[in-house]
Amino acid sequence: RSGSDDRTFIAIKPDGVQRGLMGEILKRFEQKGFRLVALKFLQASEDLLKQHYIDLKDRPFYPGLVKYMSSGPVAAMVWEGLNVVKTGRVMLGETNPADSKPGTIRGDFCIEVGRNIIHGSDSVDSANKEISLWFKPEELVSYKSCAQDWIYE
């Protein structure tokens, strides 16, 4: 894979799903020019979520985070494109919506950090870990978008 094939893991959390924001979030990533490689709509198990948030297990908010993330369905996705991890984080906005600029997903749709509607990988390493945790290799679709030559030089 070339540099334009970087991948990130994005998950729309239960509050984003319940508020009907899945289409808007997908639209923003599509309009940016990123390629959707995998999409799964599921009720995540506590085991999966505990593994996903393993780095936060010693934090006081960890049990509440796992409970909240398992309270409803999530949309788990893999997006591909040049610098998609870094750019995806910029598109999401800050973890605390109060610090997020208008125009970002959290800046436009969130108020409190405990209901920040979306997760995005914070590094290439964590993206690879998260993708392999949520998806089997055969669930990732590889294709060239017909718009690719209009997005990349």
Residue 89 assigned to a binding site? yes
Identify the residue whose tokens are 């993206």.
127
Q: Give the H or E element holding residue 119.
A: strand 118-120
Residue 104 assigned to a binding site? no
Residue 87 assigned to a binding site? no
Residue 7 assigned to a binding site? no
- Measure CA of the first residue to CA of the last residue in the chain; give whole Å: 16
Among residues 107, 132, 110, which one has the least CA distance to residue 121?
Answer: 132
Residue 61 assigned to a binding site? yes
Distance CA 70, CA 28 (A): 25
Active-site residue flag, 52: no
| Active-site annotation holder among 9, 22, 119, 134 | 119
Residue 13 assigned to a binding site? yes
**Parallel, antiparallel, or unpaired for β 35-42 and 7-12?**
unpaired
Residue 78 contacts residue 58 (beta carbons within 8 Å)? no
Distance CA 146, CA 18 (A): 32
Query: Which residues participate in catalysis according to the annotation?
Result: 119
Q: Residues within the annotated binding site for ATP? A: 13, 61, 89, 95, 106, 116
Q: Residues within the annotated binding site? A: 13, 61, 89, 95, 106, 116
